[in-house]
Structures are given as C-alpha cells and as structure tokens.
Structure 1
Amino acid sequence: MTTTSDGSWLSSLVDAVVGLMDVIGPVGAGLAIALENLFPPLPSEAILPMAGLAASRGAFTLAEAIIWTTLGSIVGALALYGLGAWLGLRRLRSIASRMPLIKVEDVDRTVAWFDRHGGKAVFFGRMIPIFRSLISIPAGVVRMPLWRFGLLTLAGSLIWNTAFVLAGFYLGEAWHIVETYADILQYVVIAVVAIAIVWFIVVRVRHLSVDHRDPESDAA
C-alpha cells in the first residue's frame, strides 16, 4: 500500500502502523485507530483514508474498514476512560492543589460543566482533532455511565471514521487532499487551545498579583 513517508519520525510511525493493514487486513486498521486514540500525534486523518484506499483495491470490504476502525476507536476510548476512572476526582483535585496557577475550584467547575454538557462533549469531541482522545479521560473521571459513554463514542466515531474512510475509498491516491484540509482543522484547534491557555495564565497571574497586593482578599 502507498504510504506517506517523507523521512520524518511521524511518517515512519504512520507507515509502520498502516503496514498492519497489509498483514492482518481490516483488523490492522482497527488496531491502528485504537493506537491513535492512545497516542494522539498518530493521525487518524492519514490512517482512515488509507483503510478506505485498501478497501477500494479489494484488500477488504468498505463495511469491514468502517466497522473495524470504529471498533478500534471504541477500544481506545475505553482505555482512556479507564485511565480517567482510575485517576478519579479525589486524586485529580489533589494534583491540582499542588500545581502552580491551578486551583481546586478549577477542577470542580470543570467537573460541574462536564456533568451538564458531558454527553455533547463526548459526541462532538470524537470529531475534533486532539480532543478525540482527551475527551475520554474526563468522562472517566466523572464516571459517566459506561453504556452512555459507549453509545456516544460509537455514534461520534462512526461519523468521523466513515467520512474519512469513504474519502480514501472514492478519492484513491488523491486522498491526500482530505489530509490537507484535516491538517488545517487540527492547526486551528491547536491555535484555539494555545490562545485559551495563554489567556488563562494571564488572567490567573493578574488575580494572584491583586491578591498579593491586597492580603484582605485572601482572608475573604
């Protein structure tokens, strides 16, 4: 199967993982996507179209490509859900209390937000680069019912995986067009996250400076 090797470590990793599809067929595609969930730098935007491309060449069927990659998404998401459940709210609050610029109240507010909007976050998060993997951890921390988490993950992953597998199936060797636009989306997400982090740090430092100059605010 044609790969995207350009000499970089990431391309080499993609080539190695995608090679699983040549060896064990659609199961390899599912395993590759499970690994992508656990290792976000591994791009599903490259693996999924390649699975579609393999299906178009008759290596396996289109249905097998979609089914196995979606199963891989669920397995990877459940592993991260388990990590979040192991971490737990108590341990997370303890970690936050020892981190600079982070307050325990930040964790509590985030958990409260997730309690209200967790379903939408899990569903739509499965279709956003980077968050595809990370969204499973807070779901585990708040112990979202496993059946609900599984169904939302299945629905969101099925939409995302089907879109990219179909792109590879119908575009063939031109599937790189999809990867280009997916990369743009990923860069936008990274930029938004970076801006949000910088804004949080600036605001928190300002608040700490005010508290330091006004000791009475600490007492309050």
Structure 2
Amino acid sequence: MDVTAYVQAVGYLGIFATVFVETGLLVGFFLPGDSLLIAVGLLAAAKKLQLSIALAALFMGSVLGNNLGYFLGRKIGPALLSKARVKNEDLERTRRFMARFGPLSILIGPYVPVFRAVVPFLCGTVKMPWPRFFVLSLLGSLLWTQGLTLLSYYVGSKIPHLERYIYLILLAGVGFGVALAAWRAYRAGHLRWPGRRTG
C-alpha cells in the first residue's frame, strides 16, 4: 500500500476512521498504524496536509477507538475474541505484556501494532475501572499520535521531499524491529547462533 497516496486520498476523515478502527476493533490489525502517522507527519511537513487538523483527527480517532475497544471487551469479552479470529499467540503475548507492565501497558501499547488493538479490549474484559482506563488511554493516545506524527513532521521539515522515501524509512523501522525481536529471542534462549555450543 502506498501510504502517502492513501492518506491524501482519504483525507482527515479517513485518517480519523483508520485509527479509530485499528484501535477499536479487533479486525484492525491490517491497517497502517505507525506508517500512517509517519506519512501524515511527512505530508504535513511538505505542506500537503494541515498539521493541526491532522493531529486532532489522529488523536480523536485513537481516544474514541480505545474506548470502543474497552466497552466491547466489557460487554462481549471472550466470545468476541474467538469470532474475531485473534491468534492465540498474539492474545497470550498481549496478556504477558499487560502482566509485566500493568497500567503502563496502556501507555506503551499504542506503539506496538498488535497490542494497540488488543490491550483496550482486554482492559474491558478484565473490568479495569473505566476512569483509570480513560485517563491512561488519553495519555497513551496523546503520546502515540502526537509524538510520532510531530517527530515525523520535524524530520520532514529538515529534509525536503522526505515523503518520497517513506518506504525506506518504514523498511528501516521494520528491520530494526526484526533485529530487536531476534536479539530478545536469542537472549531468552530460543535461538542459537550457528556453531554455538550448548549444555
């Protein structure tokens, strides 16, 4: 998907809806979350979007999506998880993530593609008090949507036409994520380098 072309095609309402669906519904895994925010920041730096309107659309989409996910989890819970075909390993990873970080998982979760869709739902499922969830999700949405978009805007404003190279930027981000995951698996003992002796 050409994310920059997508953003320009759908406009402000479209980027609001994209973030809303990704954070509020368990079927939103396929949507361009982080890459969308990066594209918005770069396009705003290139004067193809108005930054303030885009930031507001992203923020509101994330806040409302998080709360939709929370109330779906509270009302429907495990039944919807099975119907949404969420992979068991993704669900288990999210549970471990929440157990490790507790309420902070709501602040950190938006930066992780699978977690930002599942964490609000699980918070509702376990019936976390809504006022606490709302405040944390508000902060998490603010840090994710405004932070990543403004960072991309700043970098894009310093390097002209950087939006043309968004795929290289995203590829570098994916490569870093894969390398980090491999390193963590290696440290956990799930990988063995060739020639390494064990036992």
Give the TM-score normalised by the residue count of structure 2.
Answer: 0.64
2:174 maps to 183
Q: Is the 8 A contact 2:106 2:137 kept in 1?
A: yes
SS in 2 for 1:69: helix
Structure with larger RCO (C-alpha < 8 A, sep 6+): 2
- Whether the 8 Å CA contact 2:106–2:136 is kept in 1: the answer is yes
Question: Could you say which residue in structure 2 is the equivalent of 1:100?
Answer: none
Unaligned segments of structure 1, at least 5 residues? 6-10, 96-106, 200-220
Unaligned runs of 5+ in 2: 83-91, 157-161, 191-199
What secondary structure, in the 3-state scheme, does the structure 2 residue paired with 1:122 have?
A: helix
1:137 to 1:188, Cα distance in 2 relative to 1, 3 A: farther
Pick one of 15, 20, 28 that aligns with 2:14.
28
Match of 2:54 in 1: 65
User: What SS class does the counterpart of residue 126 from structure 1 fall into?
Assistant: helix
1:84/1:137 contact within 8 Å kept: yes
Alignment of 1:26-65 (within 5 A): 26-37=12-23, 38=25, 39-65=28-54
Per-residue CA deviations over 1:26-52 (Å, capped at 9, x if unaligned) read 333222211232312212122112211
Q: What is the letter of the counterpart of residue 118 of structure 2?
A: L
Q: Which residue, out of 152, 155, 158, partners 2:136?
A: 152
Is 1:77 aligned with 2:66? yes
Aligned position for 2:88: none
- 2: CA distance between counterparts of 1:136 and 1:34? 12
After superposition, the Cα gap between the structure-2 partners of 1:49 and 1:116, relative to the gap in structure 1 and judged at 3 Å, is closer
Q: Are the structure 2 counterparts of residues 49 and 117 from structure 1 closer, same or farther at C-alpha, using a change threshold of 3 Å?
A: closer
Show the 5 A alignment for 1:1-220: 4-5=1-2, 16=6, 19-21=9-11, 26-37=12-23, 38=25, 39-88=28-77, 118-169=102-153, 170-171=155-156, 172-173=162-163, 174-184=165-175, 186-187=177-178
Percent of counterpart pairs with the same letter? 25
Q: Deviations over 1:10-38 (max 9, x none)?
A: x7xx85565211xxxx3332222112323
**Rg larger for:** 1
Give the distance between the partners of 2:145 and 2:9, measured in 1 at CA: 19
1:19 maps to a residue whose letter is: A
Cα deviation 1:172-217 (Å, max 9, x = unaligned): 324445423432355468779999xxx9xxxxxxxxxxxxxxxxxx
| Structural RMSD (CA) | 3.7
| Number of residue pairs the alignment of both structures matches | 166
**2:34–2:111 contact (8 Å) kept in structure 1:** no
| Counterpart secondary structure, 2:121 | helix
